[in-house]
Amino acid sequence: MIRAFVPYDGRLRVAEDPLESLDSALWVDLIEPTDAEEAALESHFGIDIPTREEMRAIEISSRLYHENEATFMTATLPARTDTDDLLMWPVTFVLVQDKLITVRYHEPRAFKTFPQRVEQVSLGCTRGDIILVALIEALVDRVADVLERAQRDVDGISHDIFAPDSTRATGDYQGVLRQIGRKGDLVSNLRDSLVSLLRVTGFLGQTVAESEDRELRGRIKTTGHDIQALTDQTAFLSQKVTFLLDATLGLVNIEQSNIIKIFTIAAGVFLPPTLIASIYGMNFVHMPELRWQYGYPLAVIAMVLSAVLPYWYFKRRGWL
């Protein structure tokens, strides 16, 4: 599908016929384009639109390059940001003939909200590079929102783990470990996205370094600083997730050690009575105690004392 955005009154609106509006459009958005749609744009702009496989290449030279007087930049962006199960796919930005072309195969939230904003508010989007900077700013804002949500969730998990009145059973920690794992994946994906956006802004800054638009260069530099700050925040949050993982595993080990200690002490308490009962349970003929009148109560008393005394000793030593 192709969407073309044409200027009007300092804003952008969606063209009814995108292919007929390519000359006047400032932003052309390709969503899962067909071969015919790719061929039409390649013929009109004289560029080679990267395929899905080429967009997924991890080499920097395959993601950031100049070709046929066009600038190609690819970043990995998240979709389904309302959940922890992010959909991470690359999006390619192409600057050619003062126009912006975006190629994508998923639906990041910013690609829904940004067109609505530029249609209602004049953001000075008169060129493709200005539109690209504004779009990157919207993408960074969305990542920041998701990162703030992740921060709140991680803080909530930390409070639950270290609550002073926590009586969590060992089985409950399985759910906590799953939550920590999901948050770890979320933060890792956000960091990958921010790193790719940081590379795009750096490459874009070099591209417009000789431009006379000082305001645009300043916005790119500011956006780069914002991305770097968010990247640092993801590093901190990743360390906190790792700490919570280690702490949870430590608490699980403590719970398991307490259970094993109880069984060990129980075995130590009942071992002497078992020994006495085993001795007097033997069926030998020549056992004098078998003929005692008070042999049975003495044996019971001996078993009780042999159980109580170890229990008292363990209690006094603070092992219980």
Q: What is the DSSP string of 225-262?
A: HHHHHHHHHHHHHHHHHHHHHHHHHHHHHHHHHHHHHH
Q: What are the extents of the domains in the chain?
A: 2-254, 255-316
Query: Which position has the token pair 């930005």?
Result: 93
- More confident site: 155 or 122: 155
Which whole number is the average pLDDT over 127-147? 90
Residue 188 pLDDT > 60, yes or no? yes
pLDDT digits (tens, 9 = 90+) for 38-48: 888 888 888 88
Say which CATH class 255-316 falls into: mainly alpha
The order of strands in the sheet holding 87-96 is 11-14, 2-8, 27-31, 99-104, 87-96, 70-79, 64-67
- More confident site: 208 or 94: 94
CA angle 145, 147, 153 (to 5 degrees): 110
Cα distances from 92 to residues 106, 115, 132, in angstroms, run: 12, 17, 11
Residue 7 per-residue DSSP state: E
> Three-state DSSP class for 66?
strand
Q: Say if CB 12 and CB 26 are below 8 A apart.
A: yes
Q: Which residues contact 66 (CB under 8 A, 6 or more apart)?
A: 72, 207
Q: Which residues contact 311 (CB under 8 A, 6 or more apart)?
A: 269, 320
What pLDDT was estimated at residue 320? Answer: 65
Which bin fits 166, alpha (ψ -120 to 50), beta or left (φ > 0)?
beta
Q: Which amino acid is at 291?
A: R
Q: Which amino acid is at 50?
A: P
96 phi/psi in degrees, rounded to 5: -150, 130
- Counting beta carbons within 10 angstroms of the beta carbon of residue 194, is it exposed (0 to 12), middle (13 to 18) or buried (19 or more)? buried
28, β-bridge pairs:
4, 101
What pLDDT was estimated at residue 191? Answer: 92
Which whole number is the average pLDDT over 251-255? 78
Residue 171 pLDDT > 60, yes or no? no
What pLDDT was estimated at residue 228? Answer: 93
Rg (alpha carbons) of the chain, rounded to whole number = 34
2-254 domain in CATH 3.30.460.20?
yes
Residue 170 pLDDT > 60, yes or no? no
What pLDDT was estimated at residue 215? Answer: 85
Q: CA 98: distance to chain centroid?
A: 36
Residue 11 pLDDT > 90, yes or no? no
Which whole number is the average pLDDT over 302-316? 80
Taking the C-alpha atoms of residue 170 and residue 176, their distance in angstroms, rounded to an integer, is 10
Taking the C-alpha atoms of residue 107 and residue 93, their distance in angstroms, rounded to an integer, is 15
**Long-range interactions of 297-304: CB distance < 8 A, separation 24+:** 302/276, 303/272, 303/273, 303/276, 303/277, 304/273
Residue 58 pLDDT > 60, yes or no? yes
